[in-house]
Amino acid sequence: MTFVVVVEGDAGGWHVDRGALTEVIRARWAEVEIDSSARSAVRSLIWGLDTENGPGEAYLHEDGTCLYLDVWEADAIWLAVAFRGLTPMHLDLVFCDEGYTFDVRVPAGTTEAELTALVNAAG
């Protein structure tokens, strides 16, 4: 399943620091494979992940305000929280799945447990 974490509304020119996001991802998955050859606007930087739940990937939109997550839900929630940690507090961040069966805001400081509860309540 694909999940998305995205800045809602105008990001005011902000975009995630790709290096910082890569460091956060590497802290969890040391064996990450990085593909920086832009394949499309949606897949400008790709992280190949070998998670406990199996292989997956995360990929960044070229504008740096949207991260797509082809991983299990628990890993997607972790990545959404990590992305939130790199996003300015004043920006609204939304976490959803590709079918919009849920769509929740991710306030600054949200923990994995809190986001999991929001997703479960919305789904």
SS3 (DSSP) at 79: helix
**Closest Cα to residue 57, out of 83, 87, 79, 81?**
79
pLDDT per residue, tens digit, the chain (123 aa), is 899 999 999 999 999 999 999 999 999 998 899 998 878 888 999 999 999 989 999 999 999 999 999 999 999 999 999 999 999 999 999 999 988 889 999 999 999 999 999 999 987
Q: Which domains does the chain have, with CATH numbers?
A: 2-122 (3.30.310)
Q: How far apart are CA 33 and CA 47, in angstroms?
A: 6
Q: How far apart are CA 18 and CA 10, in angstroms?
A: 19
**Closest Cα to residue 21, out of 79, 75, 71, 77?**
79
State pTM to two decimals. 0.94
The DSSP secondary-structure symbol of 44 reads: S
Question: Which single residue is written with the structure tokens 């998955």?
Answer: 29
Q: Give the pLDDT confidence score for residue 39 in this predicted structure.
A: 82
